[in-house]
Structure 1
């Protein structure tokens, strides 16, 4: 479907009302708390938090309530677009009873959510542990993981830092896959049994259209140019969607699989699932844009640094155009999942990606 145009519907409505989306997911047993954006990522028994890292470098995104709500809308968006699956949370075929997962909660696993800034939550599942930490610093956990999950890490790392993260993930993914690791064990991780998974979801900052409905002089076309230019100057480009597959392969993972998506922005699609996704993604953009670009454009700019007021005017104009129902906007997204090979496994036979 990702290589096909999304059919355009005639009924453009409910752009800001996400309550109907939340009710739908509640009926599936995934409880979505309705807050300012009428959505929330706390799903029972699963809970996602951002594994977002920036250490001594400036933190490129705000850590306020509005940005956390933006993350929540992004979480709901990914659920909607895989809603036909029994498990819309991830695609890695991990063992039935995993013991340790980084960033993703499922079943009876112990879940570690890592961030520089903890989300403002008042309740967590009992198997969830939130830790304030920096992913670029040495990892100190005693347990290897059955799954390491990352989502929307765009702009978080430089290329060398990404290589360090993937290498670290390779070293830490499961190891005693599907078996209990005694907390008192003092084992060399390089000798532990592999077979676990890494999974990553990323999106492009470029706003696209298949039918030419967005005029060439629209400000929407400038978003990808401006943010990518500023991000490149910062040393952390916004091309994770196009680089992650090769980087995961370079780290040593095999059975690399991909699923490509089009994330509509706005409720313009005809198909019910895509209309629902577009409604959520519109709110995702409307609430997130200022936070996404303020640091990049005021510190680095395109082509020179902007003032805060210039960014605010720019974002206001972007919001105005995103609300235009005749513009059929979307962004590319991709999900990649891959396995750590078993000893003596022939990697060469598995180099070709499986794509959906």
Structure 2
């Protein structure tokens, strides 16, 4: 297992009363889902595989399904992120885009819950999503990405960030929120004998065999955003409990939702990657289901205090004045550098 990230962050304190009420941990996933908005969807195009619908036509395209079950998981995940930043002035994003943005682009937030919430917050703004072609005539004030891990290879990501840079107004902002698919614990209650212990590294390996579409986007996005030319870069890190075991009230609520998020999303996360790129050879559908049953049992275990890290990065496109100053600086640098 990789070295634990965020080692300098404050450990999450376990609620001492949790064990006395942990029977709620065994609530079936559908009971959690009933507390959320169930999103019905009709996918006109795509392919069926192992009982799941994928929006992509080719079988080597994006690994995640695009069906009602996964959209429901997206909705629960959206609420997780809102809870994590509940104490912030704006829990939807951190970029300081002002009070009157005109055009906002949403990339990768599933059925569009984030876009709908932002449109309600800024009724005079036009909020688009990535499903449209990049042919907008008006530049954007803000571009937001979330949970896009595994969507592109390095060249694809470079193109996406460059397109985002080109599509933004000078002074406009980009923001991205991504999860670390690996799972950790501060109190060592997650042990090497647990299936959850190697969960993330196994899927990172699958994604790299699936055409170098790494699931470690949370580690690379800041550097890639800076490389595209963005400045004034900020980053915040999170620990999201997998279950309501944390003492902190906000983390307890986030963990409760994240437990539901995992239960709704598990099969969608695992099925394609393991049946196409599992080791030592591709798994069968039945093998995946047996494995996920073990994962669900561990998620319900109140003695495993596991969490999933996440990163949020936001950065600004330079103003015209800043771009001009940068160009002048580069010209001077070229003049003074000796020829080789």
Q: Does 1:202 align with 2:178?
A: yes
Match of 1:113 in 2: 129
> Do the aligned partners of 1:254 and 1:347 also contact (CA within 8 Å) in 2?
no
Report the secondary structure of 1:156's partner residue.
coil
1:58 aligns with 2:61: yes
The whole-number CA distance in structure 2 between the counterparts of 1:302 and 1:344 is 53
Which residue pairs with 2:231 in the alignment? 254
Shift of residue 344, structure 1, vs aligned partner: 4.1
Provide Cα deviations, 1:144-186, integer angstroms capped at 9, x if missing partner.
Answer: 1111001111111111100000000000012xxxxxxxxxxxx
The verdict on how the C-alpha distance between 1:40 and 1:173 changes in structure 2, with shifts beyond 3 A counting, is farther
Runs of 5+ unmatched residues, structure 2: 1-5, 40-53, 107-114, 328-340
Q: Secondary structure of 1:207's match?
A: coil
Taking the aligned partners of 2:168 and 2:38, their CA distance within structure 1 comes to: 25
**Partner Cα separation in structure 2 for residue 336 and residue 254 of structure 1:** 11
| Structure 2 residue aligned with 1:242 | 219
Please state whether the residue corresponding to 2:314 is helix, strand or coil: strand
Give the conservation status (yes or no) of the 8 Å contact 1:54–1:156: no
Q: Is the 8 A contact 1:41 1:75 kept in 2?
A: no
Distance in 1 between residues matched to 2:32 and 2:135, nearest whole Å: 35
SS at match of 1:262: strand
Offset at residue 37 of structure 1 (A): 4.3
For 2:266 and 2:17, the matched residues in 1 are separated by: 26
- What is the root-mean-square deviation in Å for CA atoms of aligned residues? 2.5
The answer as to whether partners of 2:26 and 2:300 remain within 8 angstroms in 1 is no
Matches within 5 A, 1:47-196: 57-103=60-106, 104=115, 105=118, 106-108=121-123, 109-115=125-131, 133=132, 139-174=134-169, 194-196=170-172
Q: 2:148 touches 2:178 (CA, 8 Å); kept in 1? A: yes
CA gap 1:98/1:53 in 2 versus in 1, 3 angstroms: farther
- TM-score, normalised by the number of residues in structure 2: 0.78
| Deviation of the 1:16 alpha carbon | 7.5
Cα distance, 1:113 vs. partner?
2.3
Structure with higher helix content:
2
For 1:151 and 1:38, locate their aligned partners in 2 and report how far apart those are by CA, in whole Å. 23
Aligned counterparts of 1:149 and 1:58: Cα–Cα separation in 2 = 22
- Pair 1:323-2:338 in alignment: no
Counterpart Cα distance in 1 of 2:308 and 2:34: 21
Unaligned runs of 5+ in 1: 19-33, 43-51, 116-132, 175-193, 349-356
CA-CA distance at 1:308 after TM superposition: 0.8
Q: 1:223-302 counterparts in 2 under 5 A? A: 223-235=199-211, 236-302=213-279
The CA deviation at 1:215 is 2.1
- Which structure: larger Rg? 2
- State the secondary structure of the residue aligned to 1:263: strand
